[in-house]
């Protein structure tokens, strides 16, 4: 690989800064915003929007969404132990509820949780690398949070994983394997990494998750686009579309390869401050370059495993929702942190309608979005332009 030396040099130089929480300030007197500053500004502006002293251009805000009713999404490690247990309880509840999909059509949809996975598998080509990437996933995560609330009596808000927060992800409150985590890493098994145009090393897991609340979770759907070492002999799905029932353990390969290079607070801040329109914001978030893994994939491959490393089936990994929650937060920060830009940024919409096809028809803000059997009441076919603000249309939440 011609790029390997370049990557190594890049990694070596970037690692000098790992753990830093803001830009180094020595080289410039000009104040440069760090990720925490951006979060603070975005939240302050979002509250101004809620109390009517600032407009984000939304005309679809409900009067019932205000400062006292707004739901606050927090970082998983910032939840109290009781709040974490409540979230874990609700996720286990949805994993235990029966599917609402036709069994003959989707034999692998065993639980209500699996319904979300099937919908994602169906939609994958039209909601990644497309104009609606952020919008559809915002809607999808909110639908999951709504199902936790309405079908499992969940009392909290959807938590997220702040990519740059943990110097060692395997010992973070999300993956440390204690009773308040989303389960530990996969057990270590000897395996190789993969090649994404450059070599990605294997992580310290690779085997089944056997500690914490999601120990011994059974995955049924997929794999459809597996990325784990073939030598691990993960069973192929009995159907070529991946919808067959393929019971197997939840595997993870939680690693620090991506978080220490591409997902640090400085990476988040520079991505937000250096992309002024949604077209480049979304594409740089998703498209790897020879120098850099893009943040969306970097987050997925920080968890990796099966199904976590499979673009179609990844929502079957219980931590998926925390990673995509952060992705939604990242977009929210970008749209809200500059008071004068909010109106413009919230409504920007750019890109095609089918992945890897730049010639697919352009997406329009009026395009309806679909969630099939996981659609929350009253939102079927909702237009993308109803999904612009987190405190308008069907939504009423903020990030803290
Ligand atoms: C917020 O909305 C709720 C529900 O409609 C309402 O009872 C409350 O008075 C509102 N509060 C403010 C500060 O507007
Ligand atoms: C998970 O499965 C392993 C192997 O079957 C078993 O030893 C372990 O006790 C199980 N753990 C839990 C929490 O059920
Ligand atoms: Cu997705």
Of ligand 2's atoms, which has the minimum distance to the CA of residue 211?
Answer: 13
- The per-residue b/e assignment along 23-51, b for 16 or more CB within 10 angstroms, e otherwise, is beeeeeeeeebbbeebbebbbebbebbbe
353 CB neighbour count, 10 Å cutoff: 17
The ligand 2 atom at the shortest distance from the C-alpha of residue 216 is: 1
Cα 345 to Cα 46: distance, rounded to the nearest angstrom: 13
Contact 263, 164 (CB under 8 A): yes
Rounded to the nearest whole angstrom, what is the distance from the C-alpha of residue 246 to the centroid of ligand 2? Answer: 19
User: Which tens digit of pLDDT belongs to each residue from 122-147?
Assistant: 999 999 999 999 999 999 999 999 99
Q: Which ligand is nearest to the CA of 311?
A: 3
Q: How far apart are CA 336 and CA 100, in angstroms?
A: 37
Ligand 1 mean position, distance from CA 32 (Å):
37
Amino acid 30: pLDDT: 54
Please give the pLDDT value at position 23: 39
CA–CA separation, 247 vs 244, rounded Å? 9
- Tens of pLDDT along 152-162? 999 999 999 99
Question: Shortest CA distance to 300 belongs to which of 278, 327, 282?
Answer: 327
User: What pLDDT score was predicted for residue 290?
Assistant: 84
- Determine the pLDDT at residue 359: 85
Residue 92 CA to ligand 3 center (angstroms) comes to 21
Query: Which residues have any ligand 2 atom within 6 Å of their CB?
Result: 210, 215-216
Ligand nearest to the CA of 215: 2
Q: Which helix (H) or strand (E) holds 382?
A: strand 382-383
Residue indicated by tokens 């559809």: 136
User: Average of pLDDT values for 353-364?
Assistant: 90
Q: Residue 6's pLDDT is what?
A: 29
Closest by CA position to 112, among listed 93, 94, 91, 89:
94
Whether residue 194 contacts residue 244, with contact meaning beta carbons closer than 8 Å, is answered with: no
- In the chain, what are the domains? 4-399 (1.10.1280.10)
Judge contact between 251 and 22, C-beta under 8 A: no
Confidence (pTM): 0.91
Q: How far away, in angstroms, is 59 Cα from ligand 1 center?
A: 18
Distance CA 335, CA 10 (A): 30
- Closest residue (by CA) to atom 2 of ligand 2? 216
Mean pLDDT of all residues in 60-70: 96
**How far does residue 223's CA lie from ligand 3's centre (Å)?**
15
Instruction: Looking at the CA of 63, name the nearest ligand.
Output: 1
In testing the pocket of ligand 1, which one of 47, 49, 68 has its CB within 8 Å of the most ligand atoms? 68
pLDDT digits (tens, 9 = 90+) for 322-355: 999 999 999 999 999 999 999 999 999 999 999 9
């Amino acid at each position: 690989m011609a790029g390997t030396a370049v990557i190594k040099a890049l990694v070596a130089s970037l690692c000098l800064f790992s753990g830093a929480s803001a830009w180094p300030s020595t080289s410039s007197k000009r104040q440069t915003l760090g990720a925490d500053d951006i979060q603070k500004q975005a939240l302050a502006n979002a509250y101004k929007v809620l109390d009517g002293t600032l407009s984000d251009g939304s005309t679809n805000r409900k009067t019932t969404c205000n400062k006292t009713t707004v739901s606050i999404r927090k970082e998983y490690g910032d939840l109290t132990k009781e709040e974490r247990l409540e979230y874990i309880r609700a996720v286990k509840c949805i994993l235990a509820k029966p599917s609402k999909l036709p069994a003959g059509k989707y034999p692998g949809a065993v639980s209500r949780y699996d319904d979300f996975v099937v919908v994602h598998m169906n939609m994958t080509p039209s909601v990644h690398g497309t104009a609606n990437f952020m919008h559809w996933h915002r809607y999808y995560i909110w639908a999951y949070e709504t199902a936790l609330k309405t079908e499992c009596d969940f009392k909290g808000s959807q938590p997220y994983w702040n990519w740059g927060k943990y110097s060692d992800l395997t010992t973070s409150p999300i993956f440390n394997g204690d009773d308040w985590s989303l389960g530990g890493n996969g057990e270590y098994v000897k395996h190789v990494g993969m090649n994404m145009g450059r070599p990605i090393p294997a992580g310290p897991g690779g085997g089944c998750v056997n500690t914490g609340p999601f120990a011994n979770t059974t995955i049924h759907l997929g794999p459809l686009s597996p990325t784990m070492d073939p030598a691990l002999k993960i069973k192929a799905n009995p159907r070529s579309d991946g919808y067959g029932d393929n019971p197997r353990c939840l595997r993870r390969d939680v690693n620090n390869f991506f978080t220490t290079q591409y997902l640090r607070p400085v990476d988040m801040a520079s991505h937000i401050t250096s992309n002024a329109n949604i077209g480049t914001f979304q594409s740089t978030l998703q498209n790897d370059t020879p120098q850099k893994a893009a943040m969306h994939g970097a987050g997925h491959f920080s968890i990796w495993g099966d199904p976590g490393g499979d673009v179609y089936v990844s929502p079957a990994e219980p931590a998926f929702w925390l990673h995509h929650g952060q992705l939604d937060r990242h977009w929210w920060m970008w749209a809200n942190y500059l008071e004068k830009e909010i109106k413009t940024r919230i409504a920007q919409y750019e890109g095609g309608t089918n992945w890897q096809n730049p010639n697919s028809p352009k997406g329009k803000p009026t395009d309806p979005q679909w969630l099939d059997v996981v659609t929350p009441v009253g939102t079927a076919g909702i237009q993308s332009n109803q999904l612009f603000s987190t405190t308008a249309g069907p939504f009423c939440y903020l990030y803290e």
